Amino acid sequence: MSATDIRRVGIVGGGQMGAGIAEVCARAGLDTLLCEANGPAATAARERIAVSLERAVQRGKLDRPSAEAALDRITTTAELTDLADRQLVVEAVTEDGDVKTALFAALDKIVEDPAAILATNTSSLPVMRLGMTTGRADRVVGLHFFNPVPVLPLVEVVTTLHTAAQVTADVTEFATDTLGKTVIQSRDRAGFVVNALLVPYLLSAIRMTESGFATATDVDRGMELGCAHPMGPLKLADLIGLDTVASIAESLYDEFKEPLYAPPPLLMRMVEAGLLGRKAGRGFHTYD
C-alpha cells in the first residue's frame, strides 16, 4: 500500500487532539471514522470538530461548502470493531500507557488488512511498547500532531526499531502530500524532538511561579512580548492540558532520570485538584 492508497482512516479518541486529527483528515478528503468510548463522547467530539470548522470559516481559511463537506466525511462510532476496514488508524486516547497498550492489542485483532498502518499520536510514551502488544510491530509508527492540529503545520514521524522503512516512508508522504503538513523524523525516545525541548521550558515556568519569583501573567507576558512567542508557557501548558503536561514530564523523567524533567509539586497538585487548564475552565489562568 502506498500513501496515496490511504483513503479510509480511523481515529481513536475524540479529545482535542483526536478531533483535530479527524478534522484535518476530513478536510483532506478522506473517509474518516472517529471512535470514542461511548455515544455522548462521540457526539461531543463531532461538536468539537463542527466548532473548529466554523472557526476556520470565520477566519477565512475555509469556505462554507468545504467545511460542510468535511463534516459529512466524518462518521462517529462507539464500537472499536467498526475500524475493521480502515487502512490507517491513528490512536489519540488519553496519555496513559496501560490504556494505549490495551487499545493496540485490541486494534491488532480488529483491523483486517495486514497492510494497514497502526499509528499513535502519543506525546512521549515509547512507540515500541505499543508495537510489541501487536503481531505487526513493523506496521506500527508514531504520528505526532501539535495542538491546535488544524493550525499547526508540524507532524513528528517516530520510527521504532521494528517499524518497516516503507511504513515510515508511507506515513511521511501521507502527512506531507495528503494532509499538507511538514514532517520531521524522530527516533523513539521519550518526548521525541519537540516535547523533549518544550516540556523542560514549561516546567521551568511552573517552578518560577511556584517559587513566587514572578506571577503567571508576568511569566507569560515576558515570553510573548520579550521573545515573540505566540503564547506564554503557562498559557501554553493550559492549552495542552496540565494532566498531559504532567504525563509527558513523568515519561521524560522515567526515561532520562534528569531533574529538569521532574514534574514540580504545584503541577501535580493542580492536576489532582482538577485544574487542568483551558478544557477545565481553570489552570494557571481562567477561561470562560
Q: Which three cell numbers stand for residue 210?
A: 511556584
**Contact 146/138 with Cβ under 8 angstroms?**
no
Could you give the CA distance from residue 202 to residue 252 in angstroms, rounded to a whole number? Answer: 13
CB of 82 to ligand CAA, least distance (A): 26
CB of 109 to ligand CAA, least distance (A): 28
Of these, 32, 87, 123, 159, which contacts ligand CAA (CB under 6 A)? 123
Binding mask 52-71 for ligand CAA (x = CB under 6 A): x--xx--x-x----------
Among 128, 131, 34, 127, smallest CA distance to 86 is for 34
Nearer to ligand CAA, 67 or 171 (CB): 67
Nearer to ligand CAA, 59 or 257 (CB): 59
CB of 177 to ligand CAA, least distance (A): 19
Rule CB under 6 A: which of 214-243 touch ligand CAA? 230-231, 236, 240
**Options 85-93, 126-134, 141-149, 276-284: segment touching ligand CAA (CB under 6 A):** 141-149
CB of 268 to ligand CAA, least distance (A): 17
Of these, 147, 166, 176, 217, which contacts ligand CAA (CB under 6 A)? 147
Contact flag: residue 32 with ligand CAA (CB under 6 A): no
Contact flag: residue 150 with ligand CAA (CB under 6 A): yes
Q: Which residues contact ligand CAA (rule: CB under 6 A)?
A: 52, 55-56, 59, 61, 123, 146-148, 150-152, 195, 198, 230-231, 236, 240, 244
